[in-house]
Amino acid sequence: MGDIGQSSATESANRIEPGSFPLNVATFPDLNTSECNDPIEVANEFVDSFNRALEAPDVEAVVGLFQAQGYWRDQLCLSWDFHTLQGPDRISKILKQSEKGIRIKSIKLDTSSALRSPRSSTIGPLHTVVAFLTVETDVGRGAGIVNLIQDHGVWKVYTLFTHLMELKDHEEGVGARRPNGYEGHDTSLNWLDRRESERKLEDGDPTVLILGAGQAGLSIAARLKALGIKSLVVDRAERVGDNWRTRYHNLVLHDPVWFDHLAYLPFPATWPVHTPKDKMANWLESYVEVLELNVWTSTIITQSSWDEGTGKWTVSLSRSGECHEETRTISPKV
């Protein structure tokens, strides 16, 4: 047998391929930088300067903390949108266009672990000081990370990333905030009684109506429930999971299990890499029960209208199954 030839081609991870959308390669600032001897002091000075500018409030002072080629990537801390901003002009424009002013009210160094302590690092040819941040906005709390570089003797922001993690008064009910589960002995209702009442909407209309009890609709319902927002999921199918059960006989999910986890309830470690359709269907049905989601199957919307004055929908639902048929009108906000 002859020798098996060894390919001399560059590994795919180490070569650049043209993409479907032309992106210009970023260039680094032409600066001579050196490693910082005291990154903690530099990070503290930045935080103090940033907070003074926010307190003023002084948009130009905030913008002045950025290097001329600096970036600010924001997810919902500045507005209800995502922004990637480069340079003082674009940053200034976004900060000035908000009717409520700069929504970020303060930042702090994240000292939750030694790994998050400010330290010297590099980006390409540039020596930087990198620091993790916590962020307080007018509506919630977030986190961030900043890379500072020395520009002619002055430390400036080269990259800043901020993102909103939770809303005030709607903190996620997980971990230390999870429900107590014990209501005391001063009520005749047990958990099952309360659960049935909630599922039937006996305690009032939902704030959010979700159409479709597939993995997306159920994930939204789970997230809203953890935020304390009441929702109802409706689906025309007879059972949760029928969107998978009714597909062809030998179907399995093409994407692996690691990409399919649902909120708050990951698949067990023994779960197959590629999930059979009926297994997935049964999992969705179990998901509803375990997370106590309000789902009405065999339900269709017969009419809907929006009232601009009240800021609510009026939705008529026709529901069959469970040995009876009924029509119910609800008024969700969303």
107-142 pLDDT, tens digit per residue, is 999 999 999 999 999 999 999 999 999 999 999 999
Q: Can you give the residue range of the structural domain that contains 248? A: 194-330
Please indicate, yes or no, whether residues 206 and 298 belong to a single structural domain of this protein. Answer: yes
The domain that holds 274 is classified in CATH as 3.50.50.60
Shared domain check, 150 and 243: no
> 58 falls in which pLDDT band (50, 70, 90)?
very high
Q: 210 and 309 in one domain? A: yes
Taking residues 295-312, report their average pLDDT. 93
| DSSP H helical ranges for 185-313 | 191-199, 215-226, 242-245, 277-290
CATH classification at residue 103: 3.10.450.50
Per the structure, the count of domains in the chain is 2
- In a domain? residue 11: no
- Is residue 172 domain-resident? no
| Residue 186 within any structural domain of the chain | no
Identify whether the C-beta of residue 233 lies closer than 8 Å to the C-beta of residue 294: yes
Residue 17 inside a domain? The answer is: no
pLDDT > 90: what percent of the chain?
A: 75
Q: Is 153 left (phi over 0), alpha (psi -120 to 50) or beta?
A: left
The pLDDT tens digits for 250-300 are 999 999 999 999 999 999 999 999 999 999 999 999 999 999 999 999 999
- Cβ atoms of 207 and 332 within 8 Å: the answer is yes
